[in-house]
Amino acid sequence: MRERLLALKEEALGELSRVENQQQLNDLRVKYLGKKGRLTEILRGMGALSAEERPIIGQAANEVRGAIEAVIEEKQTGFQKAETEARLAAETIDVTLPGRPAARGAVHPISKVIEEIEDIFIGMGYTVAEGPEVEQDYYNFEALNLPKNHPARDMQDSFYITDELLMRTHTSPVQVRTMEKMKGQVPVKIICPGKVYRRDDDDATHSHLFTQIEGLVIDRNIRMSDLKGTLLQFVQELFGKQTQIRMRPSFFPFTEPSAEVDVTCAMCGGSGCRVCKQTGWLEILGSGMVHPRVLEMAGYDPQEYSGFAFGLGVERVAMLKYDIEDIRHFYTNDLRFLKQFVHL
């Protein structure tokens, strides 16, 4: 029996030395040490042994079991270690690999110019106001001294939704809304950026949808010279110190007197070029002193208060600033065009 035990040990250790994986190891454990395994099978013959032999064989059997278990244990530890190492290797992160760049959007050039203009006016003490794009005829026209059938309504051919509702044709209705909200209080000092809509045919300098920034100041003793000084400071901050302005008499039903304002052409510095059609000047906005009737309708006594207002075309300013020859580039969303503004 002792020989059988030793032979079993040799056989088991021999087989164990060749195991390659956990599954084979488990199988051998069952084969040799399991309840119905080979060792148990041999030990079943113990009953036939004499009383002296039994403890000796018992001890030998324990030694064999211990030897086999020790090897199984050692193999087991080896497999677990190898498995952990393999898992760690598979999960390794190479921190030196370059990252995958996420596609980043950028601010649209029109939004950039709006922000820049807002910053300039905020620096002069203005606040930013907003109004609806779907506007009532009253605010878009009537309260601005353009009664129904007034011929100047044609200047801003409109998209009507109903008889009384339209897409606003300019940002000037926000003047009236702000004055109503202020209920006769001064000073009023706002700018209002926003989209406006007109039934203009699209061409290189006209779009049926474009952006305006309205400005409005109301207080006691506001004069035309305040308007001129404000606009001069504004264009010099936006286009550079060398920029000059020119005011040309004009007509808007909501301002009296009214003026269109040109700036010296940023392309040629005023000497005349293709962009300014050889005049040296470029028109960027309409302006004037708020009409007494508009003040009165909005609850301000024109005997006591006066004000100026202006409305500038943001696309026209952006075209000048970035030398863009066609307004439609802003709205066709060609990435080759838009990408040029990413780092500005």
Q: Residue 56 and residue 47: Cα distance in Å, rounded?
A: 13
CB 329 to ligand FA5: min, Å = 13
The binder of ligand FA5 chosen from 255, 264, 270, 298 (CB under 6 A) = 255
CB under 8 Å to 238, separation ≥6 — which residues?
Answer: 116, 117, 120, 317, 321
Residue 287 found at the interface with ligand FA5 (CB under 6 A) = yes
Asked whether position 177 contacts ligand FA5 by CB under 6 A, the answer is no
Closer by beta carbon to ligand FA5, 68 or else 289: 289
- Shortest Cβ 300–ligand FA5 spacing (Å): 16
Residue 301 C-beta: closest distance to ligand FA5, Å? 20
CA-based nearest residue to 117, from 181, 194, 177: 194
Q: Which of 190, 310, 320, 330 binds ligand FA5 (CB under 6 A)?
A: 310
Q: Considering beta carbons, is residue 72 or 318 the nearer one to ligand FA5?
A: 318
Site for ligand FA5 contains 313 (CB under 6 A): yes
CB burial string 137-167: b at 16+ within 10 A, e below: bebbbebbbbeeeeeebeebebeeeeeeebb
- The three-state (H, E, C) secondary structure of 35-103, written as one string: CCCHHHHHHHHHHHCCCCHHHHHHHHHHHHHHHHHHHHHHHHHHHHHHHHHHHHHHHCCCCCCCCCCCC
Contact between 210 and ligand FA5 per CB under 6 A: yes
* Nearer CB in complex with ligand FA5: 28/146: 146
CB 135 to ligand FA5: min, Å: 12
Q: Is 194 in the site for ligand FA5 (CB under 6 A)?
A: no
Options 8, 285, 318, 319; binder of ligand FA5; rule CB under 6 A:
285
Which of 65/316 has CB closer to ligand FA5?
A: 316
Burial class (CB in 10 A: 0-12, 13-18, 19+), 106: middle
Q: Residues interacting with ligand FA5, by CB under 6 A? A: 170, 172, 198, 200, 206-207, 210, 212, 214, 252, 255, 258, 283-288, 309-313, 315-316, 327
